[in-house]
Amino acid sequence: MAAGNRHALALTEGGELYGWGFGGANGHGHEARTPQLVAALIGVRVKLASAQHDSSCAVTEIGELFTWGGNGLYNLGHGTDTPHVTPKRVVGQTGVRVAAVALGWTNMLAADENGVVWGLGSRCVLGLDDEPADVDEVVEHPTPIPALRVRVRKSPPVVRLRR
């Protein structure tokens, strides 16, 4: 489960992603008052999902990263600040398999299976420079953060809730 300001996501045990709520971050491009399967990801096994204020992202079983929603500081990784209301694959990381992701209001961090951390969005919060960066300086494409290396573990098992 993941929740943003006015939207929510839920991932099933089978890797299907559902979204609902308002705004452009539920994955549908329109308001959805009940959980609906995210059409752009049908047939793709999703293993992780994250949401924040007005954006969402998903990582597939094979490590592909999809992002959508608001994009004011290039934090979706598509090289533009244009919002995307349905999931779009982040490209430009040939051979990189994403294993973990954290989505923030103005940035995103993604760790690959080797523990390399990639950053997007507002440069001042990514830790890329010794000198302070202006809040409006952005990283438009996934960029490795040299000072960071993490240990990535396998996704936790899905917990079944009783009704």
Instruction: Output the tens digit of pLDDT for each of the chain's 163 residues.
Output: 999 999 999 999 999 999 999 978 999 999 999 999 999 999 999 999 999 999 999 999 999 999 999 987 888 999 888 999 999 999 876 789 999 999 988 899 999 999 999 999 888 888 777 676 666 788 888 999 988 899 887 655 555 555 5
**Does a structural domain hold residue 8?**
yes
CATH code (residue 123):
2.130.10.30
Structurally, the chain folds into a number of domains equal to 1
Residue 82 half-sphere exposure toward CB, CA atoms < 13 A: 6
Tokens matching residue 97? 């398999």
Residue showing tokens 């103005």: 106
- Owning domain of residue 69: 2-149
Give the global pTM: 0.89
